[in-house]
Amino acid sequence: MQFEVLATCHTTRARVSRMTLAHATTNLPTFMPVATQAAIKGLTPQQMEALGVTLILNNTYHLNLRPGIKVLEAAGGAHHFQGWRHNLLTDSGGFQLVSLSKFTKITEEGALFASPFTGEPTMLTPEESISIQHAIGADIIMQLDDVVSSLTVGPRVEEAMWRSVRWLDRCIERHEQAGKQGVQNLFAIVQGGLDPALRDACLEEMVKRKDRVAGYAIGGLSGGEEKDVFWRIIAQCAAKLPADRPRYSMGIGFAEDLLVCVALGVDMADCVFPTRTARFGVALTFKGPLNLRLRKHAKDMGPIDENCPCPSCRDGISRSVLNHLVTRETAAAHAVTQHNLCFQAQVMGRARDSILEGTFPQYLRTFFSDYFGENGYPEWCVNALRSVGVDLLEGYPNAKVVKGPGMKWDYSDAP
Ligand SMILES: [Zn+2]
């Protein structure tokens, strides 16, 4: 991996950087679409390429179960298997194990779970997670960490944090034994729950291993915790992670979350949100999400967004036909998914452009005004951005600020 910071924002901690991996150069900050089963739900690799996407995510847990490592090895790795020519990131499999398996027991050796096929107890160790990710062949691979829900409290959070540090060492050992450094790039995952002291302890240990890891992720968030706590943990971690390593905030996909994280110094994020919400008929736009199921779109012959460069909007797929088809025909899911991923790319692309031009604070103010308008700005976003010197209300004295996570989507007219 080559990682080079090209510009930093004069006000916030945002930065633009260039990350060169074996299959592509990816400009950061970027949003990574999730291809859980070796496919973005609803789009072909060629469509992803046409949207300019250069980095996607595969889930190790799913690929290891099906088609399995033997098939992936026979295919020459996951890139060949799915026909994806650009960069690929795999998670460790740990998060899915904990969230999807019928039972999981964490021991020092690894995560013990029931095989979904035979019900037999099966162990995933840090070493095996790395070996599976070597076979998959992703450009960026993740350490196995001991994942606890962000709502967990008490000694289990500290235990999981220290175990994640020990498992990082085992992952590094296996990665280096296999001689994969530089070919595949191992990221550490900072844990410690919502406790700033535990986060600091984890950061200190993991930063000590900087020369043996290519980048860092901030894990254990986006699990239903208060947004006001979420942003403070992101700010704390991003500020203390080394400037010469990419920083990846896991499981973040709402536009406002992305922009706050970028302002706090985050470079990468992933989430199933934009593709999942597309299948439920919600299109993302700079004027806020649009529920295409609402009857008010039935006679609207305009595109989702007149200014959107995506093929769905450019080639005249109307809100009217989407209203007719969405959640019923797969073609509508394809069209809206394509649009939503283009929207995510534009949110991040405009962040990069404005950081380079020195206008990122103004972009934030304009974005929030357009996106939240009279619905009101989420208070946590206002507070988070104030902490890095941006007052969203500057120039917008009448903007309303609302408590809670913000943005209530209107499904009231849905059929
Ligand atoms: Zn579009």
Paired tokens of 38 = 């070796």
Per residue in 123-172, pLDDT (tens digit) is 899 999 999 999 999 999 999 999 888 889 999 999 999 999 999 999 99
Confidence of residue 415 (pLDDT cuts 50, 70, 90): very low
Whether residues 177 and 236 fall in one domain: yes
User: For position 115, what pLDDT does the model report?
Assistant: 78
Query: 139, 145, 270, 305: which one is catalytic?
Result: 270
**What is the whole-number distance in angstroms between the Cα of residue 303 and the centre of ligand 1?**
7
232 part of a folded domain? yes
Whether residues 193 and 304 fall in one domain: no
Helices (H), 241-317: 255-263, 273-279, 311-314
Domain ends where: 227, 260, 277? 277
Helices (H), 192-247: 196-208, 227-240
Whether residues 250 and 344 fall in one domain: no
**What is the whole-number distance in angstroms between the Cα of residue 342 and the centre of ligand 1?**
7
Long-range contacts of 313-316 (CB under 8 A, 24+ apart): 313/339
Determine whether 146 is an active site residue: no
C-alpha to C-alpha distance for 273 and 270, rounded to whole angstroms: 9
Per residue in 43-94, pLDDT (tens digit) is 999 999 999 999 999 999 889 989 999 999 999 999 999 999 999 999 998 8
User: For position 411, what pLDDT does the model report?
Assistant: 52
415 part of a folded domain? no
User: For position 206, what pLDDT does the model report?
Assistant: 98
Paired tokens of 55 = 């980095």
Of 120-134, 215-229, 392-406, the range with the lowest mean pLDDT is: 392-406
Whether residues 212 and 322 fall in one domain: no
**What is the whole-number distance in angstroms between the Cα of residue 333 and the centre of ligand 1?**
13
Write the CATH number for 142.
3.20.20.105
Whether residues 271 and 296 fall in one domain: no
Percentage of the chain exceeding pLDDT 90: 85
Percentage of the chain exceeding pLDDT 70: 97
DSSP characters over 32-89 = E-B-TTSS-TT--HHHHHHTT--EEEE-HHHHHHTT-HHHHHHHTSHHHHHT--SEEE
214 part of a folded domain? yes
- Give all strands of the β-sheet with 30-32 in edge-to-edge order: 30-32, 268-270, 247-249, 215-218, 185-190, 140-142, 87-90, 55-58
Residue 413: pLDDT over 90: no
Domain ends where: 222, 252, 277? 277
412 part of a folded domain? no
Paired tokens of 244 = 């010469």
C-alpha to C-alpha distance for 186 and 240, rounded to whole angstroms: 19
Range of 112-121, 190-199, 405-414 with top mean pLDDT: 190-199
C-alpha to C-alpha distance for 97 and 64, rounded to whole angstroms: 11
**Phi and psi, residue 356, nearest 5°:** -65, -35
**What is the whole-number distance in angstroms between the Cα of residue 379 and the centre of ligand 1?**
29
User: For position 65, what pLDDT does the model report?
Assistant: 87
Whether residues 64 and 189 fall in one domain: yes
Among candidate residues 320, 363, 315, the one with its CA nearest the CA of residue 339: 315
45 part of a folded domain? yes
**What is the whole-number distance in angstroms between the Cα of residue 337 and the centre of ligand 1?**
9
409 part of a folded domain? no
Whether residues 135 and 29 fall in one domain: yes
User: For position 382, what pLDDT does the model report?
Assistant: 97
Q: What average pLDDT does this structure show over 280-301?
A: 96
Determine whether 91 is an active site residue: yes
CA dihedral 147, 150, 152, 153 (to 10 degrees): 110
Residue 402: pLDDT over 60: yes
Q: What average pLDDT does this structure show over 354-375?
A: 96
CA angle 141, 207, 196 (to 5 degrees): 105
Whether residues 139 and 108 fall in one domain: yes
User: For position 175, what pLDDT does the model report?
Assistant: 98
Beta bridge partners of 124: 111
Taking all residues of the chain, what is their mean pLDDT, rounded to a whole number?
Answer: 94
Query: 91, 145, 146, 267: which one is catalytic?
Result: 91
What distance, in Å, lies between the first and last C-alpha atoms of the chain?
50
C-alpha to C-alpha distance for 329 and 204, rounded to whole angstroms: 51
Whether residues 234 and 300 fall in one domain: no
Q: 23-58: string of b/e by CB count within 10 Å (b at 16+)?
A: bbebbbbbbbbbbbebbbbbbebebbbebebbbbbb
DSSP characters over 288-302 = --EETTSGGGTT--S
Count of structural domains, the chain = 2
User: For position 93, what pLDDT does the model report?
Assistant: 87
Residue 103: pLDDT over 80: no
User: For position 208, what pLDDT does the model report?
Assistant: 98
Domain ends where: 229, 253, 277? 277
Q: How many residues appear in the chain? A: 415
3-class DSSP state of 112 = strand
411 part of a folded domain? no
User: For position 95, what pLDDT does the model report?
Assistant: 83
291 part of a folded domain? yes
User: Is the peptide bond prior to 29 cis by the omega test (within 30 degrees of 0)?
Assistant: yes
**What is the whole-number distance in angstroms between the Cα of residue 310 and the centre of ligand 1?**
4
**What is the whole-number distance in angstroms between the Cα of residue 313 and the centre of ligand 1?**
4
Whether residues 31 and 153 fall in one domain: yes
Q: What average pLDDT does this structure show over 306-333?
A: 95
Q: What average pLDDT does this structure show over 238-259?
A: 97
Whether residues 231 and 303 fall in one domain: no
Whether residues 319 and 340 fall in one domain: yes
Q: Which domain holds residue 323?
A: 283-402
